[in-house]
Structure 1
């Protein structure tokens, strides 16, 4: 039987609370999966910070979740998570073979595992790139694969948003692949099947349902950071349902997740998805000009807190002050001491984002984390960095 008695009891109790809560609060309508032929790996698209709860109530059988290592650096809370849930740790800014080994050990012991193979929540409502090593893991595991698709999560709780909205969410089993079927499939075929099964475009839900909430545009600047009109970087601010640039553009974020140009100034985009795709391509197209002067700042922010952390879950504060991105380096400057820390982009091996604004990266075995109290875009730093210098990343 899957899971220890304690872990199953905790999840069972949590389901009694979260099942009615998610149904009523977020209008979550779901298909419950009951797979009793053996243990399995469940894969789902990643749309909200509540996805573990959503998947937990959507399966009858107990599952262990793969979780980011930041959850293991929360002191007493982390101790409770280990004791009562025992998630499998994954270093988010570093691709870890250790995670795969621990997953395979859990499967060999007869447990079920659930993971989100994008590695991070979507920023724009479309399923992000699936981590390719997921298919290799599935092939090695020799257990059933269950794919599960959640829709309406992004319009309800966009990763960039300060608030949640109420509309409609659905959860449906996409496919069940038995071990015998997976044995006959190549790694490429498994990967293609996962990508097809988990693909979601939020417009399928937002066009049909309204998503009502307070201040729906607030913190949108953490996702959209280049203005299509003036090409300014981090020139937008948000307030209530308005998103405005210093160049004069004023947009309203409506209940169908559309961007409405209230002044009719021929703004080129009506969705976050269109805009985000454009800004990612803009960075690629403008790399030659961005790289022309290594002493010219591309973007910078004040009031940043820099930490280092280790794989044994200890965190140390390094400095508080400014962060500036140049074509070949990041420079952190302490506000009080004026001391500087220079990180060459070529030394960064892995980079990722935790939740909305926390940027984390690794230089070999040294791990860094940058936090802030204001809605600064971590996404802009990640997208610029991965195009300026080769590094592994999870958006």
Structure 2
């Protein structure tokens, strides 16, 4: 009898659900606030009234506001959101996020417990939302991602809903210090029925998933009768952290930004950013790009060409020990000063003094955890370092290189071919 009781108690852990009162209260508050800030228009697939939940929900990841927007779009039932460790464990947010039953995911680890919690939540009738791109978009386009989400969809045997936000990036660009009131449109669509997930292979699921995530606000702006305007007194402030390579004098890490102006520190090239997020030429300059995403894509090509020709990108930097995700010893020094060197051979940190160079892994992930223009997390085996480069644009060098290397190795571009987007 005792053995049977022990067996029953260890069979299943009770699933934690969001606190309904707290969830409903903050949802109502958010709907009022976001209507005032963004005049959000929702477009909901009629099939969602026919196909019952619980749902596995995916969305494009463009700003910190995405989970709130998703909750408002799917307001009829509480959702458990999957969130990164650094957000979930933020001291100020932790007590509140606990009320929402956030599912935590830890970087640089195999997250079996996270996957298990997603599965049991769906089985217990709770909808779960996850962002396949894992990181907010830096320049406004899709952040490449591997097949892990597609494999999870295949396993869940649950209907999948996509919540795609247009205007979310321009409403709070990754490089901008604060949000920008304007306009948003949210499309909610039944992406897969439960039956479809069982009849499709993982690669076919991945193709449809990538197609659903492939959205950018600049293209959305061009399809509108009148482009949406986003309020900011300093629309170009900190844009130089993302767009740093001058197209006029061909120098990397040369651009600076202030108020509504993006300009080169070495020549007379400059651009202005308007309320729609697009560029216009400053007096005496040309505007070779329509918008920052155009600029960023050109810059990625320049970075790739420079590396392939044997070029190097260097920056003085400070390295801080962040965590040890293995069983080995921590490093002898928890903080180092030296130089980061990126080349076709990879990424090295050269400490000041007589210490040996540190080889840092890059290219193994399509999206590095970073603060644009500030820091980037980099692994050395099981040791995770946080690097603080001197030049604000150097973080984008590293994220672009990692992204380009991963895309080539995984042949991700096959999902972005014209036939797959029509």
Shorter-chain TM-score above 0.5? yes
Aligned twin of 2:377: 360
Q: Provide closer, same or farther for how the CA distance between residues 130 and 15 of structure 1 changes in structure 2, counting only shifts above 3 A.
A: same
Partners of 2:161 and 2:304 in 1: how far apart? 36
- 2:230·2:275 contact (CA, 8 Å) conserved in 1? yes
Partners of 2:259 and 2:181 in 1: how far apart? 16
Aligned twin of 2:233: 214
The C-alpha deviation readout for 1:113-166, integer Å capped at 9, x for no partner, is 101111111222222224322111100111110111110111111111123322
The C-alpha deviation readout for 1:83-102, integer Å capped at 9, x for no partner, is 32232222345564553333
- 1:93·1:361 contact (CA, 8 Å) conserved in 2? no
Q: Provide closer, same or farther for how the CA distance between residues 10 and 323 of structure 1 changes in structure 2, counting only shifts above 3 A.
A: farther
The alignment status of 1:63 with 2:79, answered yes or no, reads: yes
Aligned twin of 2:386: 369
Q: What do you get for the CA RMSD once the two structures are aligned?
A: 3.3
Q: How does 1:26-175 map to 2 (within 5 A)?
A: 26-31=38-43, 37-59=52-74, 60-74=76-90, 76-77=91-92, 79-80=94-95, 83-93=98-108, 96-175=111-190
Larger Rg: 2
Tell me how far 1:32 sits from its aligned partner: 6.3
Aligned twin of 1:309: 323
Task: Tell me the SS of whatever aligns to 1:286.
Answer: helix
**What TM-score, normalized to structure 1?**
0.84
Q: Provide closer, same or farther for how the CA distance between residues 32 and 348 of structure 1 changes in structure 2, counting only shifts above 3 A.
A: closer
Aligned twin of 2:293: 273
Task: Tell me the SS of whatever aligns to 2:181.
Answer: coil
**What TM-score, normalized to structure 2?**
0.79
Q: How many residues are paired up?
A: 380
Task: Tell me the SS of whatever aligns to 1:113.
Answer: strand
Q: Which one is further off, 76-85 or 228-237?
A: 76-85
Q: Provide closer, same or farther for how the CA distance between residues 236 and 113 of structure 1 changes in structure 2, counting only shifts above 3 A.
A: same
Aligned twin of 1:319: 335
Tell me how far 1:78 sits from its aligned partner: 6.2
Tell me how far 1:287 sits from its aligned partner: 2.0
Aligned twin of 1:243: 262
Partners of 1:30 and 1:320 in 2: how far apart? 49
- 1:42·1:114 contact (CA, 8 Å) conserved in 2? yes
- 2:40·2:186 contact (CA, 8 Å) conserved in 1? yes
Q: Which one is further off, 3-12 or 172-181?
A: 3-12
Q: Provide closer, same or farther for how the CA distance between residues 349 and 19 of structure 1 changes in structure 2, counting only shifts above 3 A.
A: same
- 1:135·1:190 contact (CA, 8 Å) conserved in 2? yes
- 2:59·2:130 contact (CA, 8 Å) conserved in 1? yes
Q: Which one is further off, 150-159 or 53-62?
A: 53-62
Partners of 2:237 and 2:336 in 1: how far apart? 25
Match for 1:200 among 203, 215, 225?
215
Task: Tell me the SS of whatever aligns to 2:315.
Answer: strand
